[in-house]
Structure 1
């Protein structure tokens, strides 16, 4: 026999239907009943309650509040809108567990007031003189907040409400109970109870139950005990491993590359998060415009030869559906700064040359289009070949041949280069690379022409925990640093061995951590660079291998190669065997996708191999940013503080992305 108190059985989703604003009750009266020639302006005010979430919920649920700025309404339409708000507002209370509370709407005009549910409301509003504004005051009495009572689970895909009510045992394991995040005695907040099925289902699928299901809650409202019990139908289904993989939609990409690239394998425990990570990884290759993965229609039997973990009841096949992206891309290369002048060129890219993600990039770029550090037109022509997963997953092979000509004030260079190397990520944030580089060049410096043949082995270690989604996205936190050494030998002219070493570090601090800005809006960025060349003096090192400073990479305000030892009393740079530089930059985002930057740079180049020797130069300036979906467009103006010669009065830099 049931207890003598009132029990109301209903789905929680129905209980809060008024809160989410989907109820159609109390909609405005048909226009045929309203005086089309008379409209009323009104204002809605909500009296705060003791529960701020209820107050916010009422504001979101109220059609009076949401529609008051649209246009004036007829008296009868406004009356219908007011009546309809009662159920919506009660939904906001119930969603937070206040089932015995009530709401009130008071309508005030011409020194008079009526309750919103008064039968005379429509005629009262219709009698108002034109031009009067009505005030609608919404208030609520919360009453006692109901608590969560019993949460019970019945095994099976479905059943009747009575079968849920008659359940006597909780059918969850300890692990399953731990993911509910709702306990007996908690406030009966509808959103938390409604979230239980998705939380539990996610947990079950991560345990290998691919076909698990959890029903929507059936709620039992106990008005005497002021609690809500909730019951669920639970079906775990078989525990499975991954079965066979089917690849659909491949046209130019080789299937063996996909199988080798996959981070999952047959016989592995079925886990949606792991499968999603594999799907995302395939999408990150850049070969596909879409990668989707779906479970097979039925569970397969597990081969007897497989040695599986206990409790496995089958294998779930996976179907991968691919839509390949465009294989070819042509892009323009355009840039300008007052020191290096303009550059313009075109790049052609093949994304999948041999069917396994190989990239071939061909570029032809004209350089030296004006500029205070240039003496004429130059070019940069190269072919770049990248092969992913070279001999090992995530290892990249890079081959490059390049023809280069640049007519700088410091030297004129015409060179052929060949480069081959591999790079490999180590963990999440580390990256190492090594290469062999050969360069044949002719350099004219201060009227003297020399030929060099240089062989070098660049070795580099990178760390980056800023976790940007693309290389030109501005960093707002974390560190980035690079350490490199390049054992080199110069032949053909004055054979010499030298060892360039360099390091650069950058860090970013978001002022949001101090509570004075929104996340990512105000950022202080710091950068430091240091370099040293061991084993040879300045004049025994090819000019293009020496250290220079000036420009956006070191000291803005000074032209490219404008900081360091000069040739006599001219503005021609000699270069040096040591370098150190530092930057502090403040970045502030503004409304409408704009931003501003202020910065100061300092640096020096010395003839000693020990950094810290040389004439320190300082530059400062500011700029504006316009943020696009692919990154910020940068415009910076910099001034030199202590320029050594006439010229370098100011420098302008245009580009895409931040300087570091």
Structure 2
């Protein structure tokens, strides 16, 4: 006679079956008699037998091991859904797998049958975790009358323990439990007792595994507040600060088992260092704008204190039809945990030669900067920069010299920086500048806002993505504003379908001089994309972009706009999607014909 929990009972009201022959000699059958399709899908997902079928396992010993372990996997999956009186049978060529001795594994297995009778779902007749710290929030559904899913009990216990840990009781743990299933009533009574333990303070941080990194700098970067009340969030942030340096391949912070009298809890950081040097490169191609190549070389730990030296260069507009080739070289040296554990201070030096359609420029910028991490998603930055630029256009040569104080905030709540499906991104910066000589003084402001929403509930997202960019220059004249502070539109970063920086404003440098194009002091651009994955790796995109440039402000008469639209393909890779966009102008006069854009990552 079959036993409850492992042998098939009488068939219930309805059944769902899956039978797929792998070969002429081997057949798998998985049947669920009762429940609904969602339960059947969960059970199939938990099945080791079906996993072996999918992996095309043929070895009898492996198949036998999967079959014997199937009972526990299926029962666990049923408990997770609130079914506590199941009957499960796993038969190997007609024999119950649980009854076959391990030393009597069949030399050949032709058929494996899994049969599940879930029974009726249970509800909570009691749902109690106590005592709880003030403010502890129990998971939704952990209450009398709700489906008694075992995962809810685990989540409730975890929430209770986390509630005590959040106010300093680091050693909080379950101290007892009573869980009773009433099969006659299909009810489950769950009672768990917690032991909060004493309220503790952070003890000293011990570090293991460092090689080139200086111990005092690790302690400084971690910023663990020794002597203050234990807080798991502080522990998490300390680990994140160490990871953020890029010096370490892995970082783990563990709490000591023992408490140091009277109430100190020591922490051990175990780190594994990365190789100190790294390099990388990238490329992006547009049919009219040409090829952009980027590359960098970086030393992660220059002086043993996580000082990051980075040298990066870019050659852009190679083969562009409307401008020459641009060259840029930048050198930065950053030091984390300067002033505070969350503040990085750095030095920067940049050289650039721009060969644009309407002007040539040689630009040198040197500065000191700081970045502060307010949280995982919010960062602030500030800098003091001096820039010298020599500009040559049809009206002659002009020298711009200015000192700027850029201050910005970045709020990044995207789920994936290269392929976001939900969340938002907001970057805002104001840049007051003091001009010298020919250069005026004023302020430049710029905002980049993006939002993403996944409209699909399946495993193939359908995402609506939107972007708005806006910028303005205040206080300076159009011709007295540093040329690289003015705004243009067109190209892959603003309006696809129109050539790079093709939209500006037409001005005269002096009476009778030749008219030429320069950037404007007001800029607005918007983009909308619909992104759909048609397979697990291939997606399609439809998009519309529009841009506006004003000479002095958004609404004065000297301004223009343009728009573009197109379709794109995406191919998902482990490092972000490969992007191919084809766009054409649908408004304005700055574009003509089709443009193609190729790159890595979504367009925004």
Q: Does the pair score TM above 0.5?
A: yes
| 1:414–1:134 CA distance, 2 compared to 1 (3 A) | closer
Q: Any conservation in 2 of the 1:555–1:581 contact (CA below 8 Å)?
A: yes
Distance of 2:277 and 2:301 partners within structure 1: 9
**Residue equivalent to 1:635:** 580
Give the Cα separation in 2 of the matches to 1:186 and 1:403: 65
Quote the residue 1:620 is aligned against. 565
Report the alpha carbon displacement of residue 263 of structure 1 after superposing the two structures with TM.
Answer: 4.3
Task: Report deviation, 1:473.
Answer: 4.2
Asked if 1:294 corresponds to 2:280, the answer is no
Deviations 1:88-137 (A, max 9, x none): 9888777777677768999xxxxxxxx999xxxxxxxxxxxxxxx99989
1:457 aligns to what?
A: 404
Aligned-pair CA distance for 1:83: 13
CA contact (8 A) 1:93 1:99 kept: yes
Whole-angstrom distance in 1 between the partners of 2:421 and 2:81: 40
SS of residue paired to 1:486: strand
State the partner residue of 1:34. Answer: none
Out of 540, 543, 564, the residue aligned to residue 599 of structure 1 is: 543
- 2:508 is aligned with 1:522: no
1:561 aligns with 2:509: no
- Secondary structure at 1:278's aligned position in 2? helix
Residues 200-245 of structure 1, C-alpha deviations (whole Å, 9 max, x = no match): 5555555655555547867666678876667879766655332222
Counterparts of 1:635 and 1:382, CA distance in 2: 28
Does the alignment pair 1:352 with 2:352? no
CA contact (8 A) 2:531 2:541 kept: yes
Q: Distance in 1 between the 2:584 and 2:46 partners? A: 56
Where do 1:373-412 residues align within 5 Å? 373-375=322-324, 377-412=325-360
Quick one: structure 1 residues 15 and 326, their matched pair in 2 at CA, closer, same or farther if it must change by over 3 Å?
farther
1:173 corresponds to 2:150:
no
Distance in 2 between the 1:623 and 1:16 partners? 53
Report the Cα offset of residue 349 of structure 1: 0.8
Whether the 8 Å CA contact 1:452–1:490 is kept in 2: the answer is no
Answer whether contact 1:474 1:631 (CA < 8 A) is retained.
no
Contact 2:561 2:588 in 1 (8 A): no
Displacement of 1:145:
5.0
Asked whether 1:577 is paired with 2:521, we answer yes
Using the alignment, how far apart are the partners of 1:587 and 1:16 within structure 2?
A: 46
Aligned to 2:552: 608
Instruction: Report the equivalent of 1:546.
Output: 486
Counterpart mapping for 1:117-136 below 5 A:
none
In 2: Cα distance, 1:576 partner to 1:93 partner? 65
Q: Which whole-Å CA distance do the structure 2 matches of 1:87 and 1:386 have between them?
A: 53
Q: For the aligned residues, what is the CA RMSD?
A: 4.7
Output aligned runs, 1:214-293, within 5 Å. 214=174, 239-293=199-253
The more displaced of 622-631 and 232-241 is 232-241
Deviation at 1:197, TM superposition (A): 6.1
Residue 432 of structure 2: aligned partner: 486
Partner Cα separation in structure 1 for residue 215 and residue 293 of structure 2: 39
For the structure 1 residues 239 and 18, does the alpha-carbon distance in structure 2 shift closer, same or farther, using more than 3 Å as the test? farther
Aligned to 2:422: 476
Go from structure 1 to structure 2 and tell me whether the alpha carbon gap of 1:500 and 1:659 turns closer, same or farther (over 3 Å shift). farther
Tell me how far apart the structure 2 counterparts of residues 105 and 475 of structure 1 sit (CA, whole Å). 41
Describe the SS at the equivalent of 1:487: strand
What is the rounded CA distance, in whole Å, between the counterparts of 1:535 and 1:144 in structure 2? 71
Q: Structure 1's 617 and 142: CA in aligned 2 closer, same or farther, altered over 3 A?
A: closer
Corresponding pairs, count: 559
List per-residue Cα deviations over 1:179-211 (Å, max 9, x = no partner). Answer: 698667776655555667656555555565555
Aligned to 2:447: 504
1:438–1:587 Cα change, 3 Å: same
Q: Measured at CA, do residues 606 and 412 of structure 1 come closer, stay the same or move farther in structure 2, by a change above 3 Å?
A: same
TM-score normalised by L of structure 1: 0.70
Structure 1 position 536, deviation (Å): 4.2
2:18 aligned with 1:48:
no
Q: 1:489 to 1:255 in 2, by over 3 A?
A: same
TM-aligned CA deviation for residue 66 of structure 1: 7.3
Distance 1:600 1:370 in 2: 26
Q: Does structure 2 conserve the Cα–Cα contact (< 8 Å) formed by 1:398 and 1:420?
A: yes
CA contact (8 A) 1:474 1:657 kept: no
Residue number in structure 1 paired with 2:281:
332
| Counterpart Cα distance in 2 of 1:543 and 1:183 | 65
Given the superposition, is the C-alpha separation of residues 570 and 317 from structure 1 closer, same or farther in structure 2, using an over 3 Å criterion? same
Q: 1:479-513 CA deviation, whole Å, 9 max, x = no partner?
A: 5242423324142xxx242424333342324142x
Match of 1:557, SS state, is coil
Cα 1:641–1:183 shift into 2, 3 Å: closer
User: Unaligned 5+ residue runs, structure 1?
Assistant: 1-13, 20-37, 107-114, 118-132, 153-171, 303-313
Q: Hey, what does 1:652 align to over in structure 2?
A: 596
2:496 partner SS: coil
2:4–2:88 contact (8 Å) kept in structure 1 = no
Q: 1:466 aligns with which of 394, 413, 428?
A: 413
Alpha-carbon offset, residue 411 of structure 1: 0.7
Aligned partners of 1:15 and 1:94 also within 8 Å? no
Q: Distance in 1 between matches of 2:441 and 2:532?
A: 43
Residue 433 of structure 1 deviates from its aligned partner by: 3.2
* Partners of 1:18 and 1:88 within 8 A in 2: no
Tell me the SS of whatever aligns to 2:523.
Answer: strand
Partners of 1:563 and 1:291 lie apart in 2 by 49
Q: How far is 1:384 from its partner?
A: 1.5
